[in-house]
């Protein structure tokens, strides 16, 4: 069963049951910035990324549902919506991202440790 962008829907056991993801995520740590529509600029560092979104530690206050611009993501800014918040850790869903950025994220996934582990186990 394929999900968004042709990747299989992943199932992972979690403490809260089975989790379904539209695209694989992997650890990705890079300095970044979050620009809010009102002009507020916050810095942060990414934690994980997938073709559907990313998580990041951000030095600022955002609310679930807020829209923002995050950059750089695969070399350019992307529009996001805050989907999860735990302290300073935020989960962002990409709402506008280019095909080139999606390809770059997919290429980086294939270079990741998570992909190598998964390839060995299949």
Domain 26-106: give its CATH code: 2.40.10.220
pLDDT tens digits, residue range 48-83?
988 899 999 999 999 999 999 999 888 899 999 999
The model carries a pTM of 0.73
Q: Does residue 91 surpass a pLDDT of 60?
A: yes
Residue 94 near residue 22 (C-beta atoms within 8 A): no
Which string of DSSP letters, residue by residue, matches the chain?
-B-GGGPBPEEEEETTEEEEESS--EE---EEEEE-TTS-EEEEEEEEE-SSEEEEEESS---TT-EEEEEEETTEEEEEEEEEEETTEEEEEEEE--HHHHHHHHHHHHHSHHHHHHHHT-
Phi, psi dihedral angles at 114 (to 5 degrees): -60, -40
Q: Which is more confidently placed, 41 or 15?
A: 41
Q: Which is more confidently placed, 99 or 14?
A: 99
Across residues 30-46, what is the average pLDDT? 94
Residue extents of the structural domains in the chain: 26-106
Q: Residue 37: which residues within 8 A CB-CB, separation 6 or more?
A: 67, 68
In which band, very low, low, confident or very high, does the pLDDT at 120 lie, cut at 50, 70 and 90?
Answer: low
């Amino acid at each position: 069963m394929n999900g968004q962008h042709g990747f299989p829907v992943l199932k992972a056991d979690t403490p809260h049951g089975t989790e379904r993801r539209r695209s694989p995520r992997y650890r990705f740590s890079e300095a970044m910035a979050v620009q809010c529509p009102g002009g507020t600029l916050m810095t942060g560092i990414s934690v994980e990324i997938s073709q559907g979104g990313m998580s990041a530690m951000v030095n600022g206050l955002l609310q679930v549902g807020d829209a923002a611009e995050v950059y750089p993501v695969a070399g350019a800014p992307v529009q996001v919506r805050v989907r999860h918040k735990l302290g300073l850790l935020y989960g962002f869903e990409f709402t506008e991202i280019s095909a080139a950025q999606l390809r770059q994220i997919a290429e980086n996934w294939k270079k990741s440790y998570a992909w190598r582990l998964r390839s060995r186990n299949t």
